Amino acid sequence: MKKLILIATLLASPLFAQVKEKVEVPYVPFPIKMGKGFDAVQANCLTCHSFGYMINSGKQSKKFWRGKVDKMIVHFKAPMTDEDVEIVTDYFFEHYGNGQLE
Ligand code: HEC
């Protein structure tokens, strides 16, 4: 029995190994633009995916952003009020828009 305990302790010891080197975490700038409407984005969009995921497609038209918001509601049942649809679309168009409405 004692042997078993010894073996088990030895097998488990790597779990308690400590990292000696200094661990450097790379700095990644995350371009979240705070501003009017961001709280609505936080409440309606970040429940399912990250912010970075949403802005992956770069600067887009207002129609594009509205289409994405509609897609989230139709396909993924994002629960949103009509008011928030406008606020969130305006937020994305203002900060990640290309100036084109269509
Ligand atoms: C109920 C979960 C859910 C919510 C809430 C949600 N999404 Fe999504 N979203 C998804 C899923 C699932 C995908 C991946 C779909 C795909 O790849 O077709 C996605 C993908 C996306 C994409 C990129 C992929 C594409 O379709 O081009 C964008 C942009 C996006 N969401 C924007 C939003 C915005 C803006 C909101 C807030 C209004 C939102 N999402 C809220 C589930 C959600």
Can you tell me the distance from the alpha carbon of 24 to that of 50, in angstroms, rounded to the nearest whole number? 23
Residue 69 CA: nearest ligand 1 atom is 38
Residue nearest (by alpha carbon) to ligand 1 atom 25? 68
Residue nearest (by alpha carbon) to ligand 1 atom 23? 54
Residue 79 CA: nearest ligand 1 atom is 5
Q: Tens place of pLDDT for every residue, the chain, 102 residues?
A: 677 666 666 566 656 667 678 878 766 556 788 889 999 999 999 999 999 899 988 899 999 999 999 999 999 999 999 999 999 999 999 999 999 999
Listed in sequence order, the residues at least 6 apart from 6 whose beta carbon sits closer than 8 Å to its beta carbon are: none
